[in-house]
């Protein structure tokens, strides 16, 4: 990498032979590299660079620095979009900050796969539930009887709000819930 | 035919238009806004926080906050200026939380090693690229921010002043001092 650039002698903004002061040229070089110069300014700058060795060397130095430009992580955009719910009413936060590590782990294809997985899990739970309801032996075993004897009907956890963690889990999207279930396994 | 050719030459929609579309739930508009601004927001936060993971975290929070509060964007300033202001608040909040945590629970622990990528990641990266980044990270904050925003993202000195809470003149001076110092340090480093 060349570290030769403008030696500073012309940075007093005195016009060079093409009429463009070096200070103005040095100001504009980053915009030239970023492609943000208007056509007229760009032409004047090129004219200056063709005559001023110091400014031309500065371009080389700045371009080397720009090659070290840090970029966000590859999955950054997916992580942000994974935390949002987008519909006709606009954009809302679907995954709060405390759950973002889950959203960060999943890309779009994983979320779709999780959707199918959740559907399958729901079917399984439904099938098991039907099996229990249709069971012909109401007094299954000693454990069940023992539990029933300990819990008066009003003590049973029939309300969702009585389940530990329910308020926290409320409102989380399916894929996050599924991931949590997987984590708990 | 006429419509088609017009469509083909239409310039990319500006940020104001994308924001309006995003407010109505247009996912493609959100996607474009993210594409356009994720880099500058991430680098801005990296300049402030000095740690890649912290910068990525703060950038994610910044976008979630901004995109779920698009009604708060009135269009008086550019979208980029608006989101950089949110990013700066996020960085301040993160720094405050970090210092509170350190004061309370982690008093006995040694301070974390200077942030940045793991040694493995560093080894994989181009040595020259890493050398420039390390040197840039040594610049004083105002100079580092001005160099990064100007050189990496092409912001005007006025935009830099708004983002860093300084004046246009200071932003210009900080940029030129930062570049000069960066060149000197890289030159010295190359010689040793």
| Radius of gyration in angstroms for the set of CA atoms belonging to chain A, rounded to a whole number | 33
Which candidate, B76, B86, B77, places its Cα nearest to that of B41?
B86
Which residue in the set B129, B147, B153 is minimally distant from A34, CB to CB? Answer: B153
Question: Over the stretch B128-148, which tens digit does the pLDDT of each residue have?
Answer: 899 999 999 999 999 999 999
Secondary structure class of A167 (helix, strand, coil):
helix
Nearest CA in chain B to A62: B151
List CB contacts (< 8 A) between B39 and chain A. Answer: 71-72
Cβ <8 Å between A90 and B70: yes
| ipTM of the complex, rounded to two decimals | 0.81
| CA atoms lying within 13 Å on the CB side of residue A113 | 6
Q: Could you tell me which residue, B169 or B95, shows the higher pLDDT?
A: B169
Cβ atoms within 10 Å of A176's Cβ, excluding its own = 23
B83 burial type by CB count under 10 A (0-12 exposed, 13-18 middle, 19+ buried): buried
pLDDT band with cut points at 50, 70 and 90 for residue A19? low
Domains of chain B: 13-116 (1.10.1740.10), 118-192 (1.10.10.10)
List CB contacts (< 8 A) between A89 and chain B. Answer: 25
Minimal C-alpha gap between A149 and chain B (Å): 45
Q: What is the pLDDT of residue A34?
A: 86
Question: Over the stretch B9-53, which tens digit does the pLDDT of each residue have?
Answer: 567 889 999 999 999 889 999 999 999 999 999 999 999 999 999
Tell how many helices (H) and how many strands (E) occur in chain A.
9, 2
Cβ atoms within 10 Å of B65's Cβ, excluding its own = 17
Measured between alpha carbons, how far is A46 from A185 in angstroms, rounded to an integer? 64
Q: Angle A54-A58-A63 (CA atoms, 0-180°, nearest 5)? A: 155
Cβ <8 Å between A93 and B68: yes
Question: Over the stretch A56-115, which tens digit does the pLDDT of each residue have?
Answer: 999 999 999 999 999 999 999 999 998 998 888 888 887 777 666 665 555 545 555 555
Measured between alpha carbons, how far is B147 from B139 in angstroms, rounded to an integer? 9
Minimal C-alpha gap between B109 and chain A (Å): 24
Which candidate, A123, A117, A95, places its Cα nearest to that of A182?
A117
Q: What is the pLDDT of residue B10?
A: 64
Residue A90 pairs in a beta bridge with: A87
Domain boundaries, chain A: 1-70, 76-184
Residue A87 pairs in a beta bridge with: A90
Which candidate, A49, A31, A65, A72, places its Cα nearest to that of B178?
A65
């Amino acid at each position: 990498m060349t570290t030769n650039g403008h030696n500073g002698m012309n940075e007093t903004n005195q016009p060079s032979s093409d009429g463009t002061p070096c200070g103005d040229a040095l100001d504009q070089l980053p915009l030239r590299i970023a492609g943000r110069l208007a056509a007229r300014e760009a032409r004047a700058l090129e004219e200056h660079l063709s005559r001023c060795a110091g400014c031309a060397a500065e371009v080389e130095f700045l371009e080397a620095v720009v090659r070290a430009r840090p970029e966000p992580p590859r999955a950054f955009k997916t992580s942000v979009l994974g935390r949002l719910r987008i519909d006709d009413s606009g954009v809302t936060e679907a995954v709060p900050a405390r759950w973002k590590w889950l959203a960060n782990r999943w890309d779009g294809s994983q979320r779709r796969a999780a959707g199918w997985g959740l559907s399958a899990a729901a079917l399984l739970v439904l099938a098991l539930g039907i099996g229990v309801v249709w069971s012909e032996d109401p007094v299954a075993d000693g454990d069940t009887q023992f539990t029933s004897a300990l819990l008066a009907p009003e003590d049973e956890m029939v309300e969702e709000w009585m389940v530990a963690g329910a308020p926290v889990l409320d409102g989380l999207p399916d894929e996050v819930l599924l991931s949590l279930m997987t984590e708990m396994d | 035919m006429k419509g088609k050719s017009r469509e083909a030459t239409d310039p990319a929609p500006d940020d104001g238009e994308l924001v309006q579309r995003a407010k109505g739930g247009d996912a493609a508009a959100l996607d474009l806004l993210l594409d356009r601004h994720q880099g500058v927001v991430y680098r801005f936060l990296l300049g402030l926080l000095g740690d890649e993971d912290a910068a990525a975290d703060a950038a994610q929070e910044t976008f979630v906050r901004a995109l779920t509060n698009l009604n708060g964007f009135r269009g008086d300033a550019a979208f980029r200026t608006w989101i950089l202001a949110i990013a700066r608040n996020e960085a301040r909040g993160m720094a405050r939380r970090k210092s509170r945590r350190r004061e309370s629970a982690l008093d006995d622990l040694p301070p974390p090693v200077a942030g940045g990528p793991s040694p493995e990641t560093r080894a994989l990266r181009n040595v020259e690229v890493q050398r420039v980044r390390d040197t840039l990270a040594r610049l004083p904050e105002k100079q580092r921010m001005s160099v990064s925003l100007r050189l990496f993202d092409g912001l005007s000195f006025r935009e830099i002043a708004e983002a860093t809470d300084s004046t246009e003149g200071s932003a210009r001076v900080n940029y030129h001092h930062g570049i000069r110092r960066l060149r000197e340090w890289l030159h010295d480093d190359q010689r040793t």
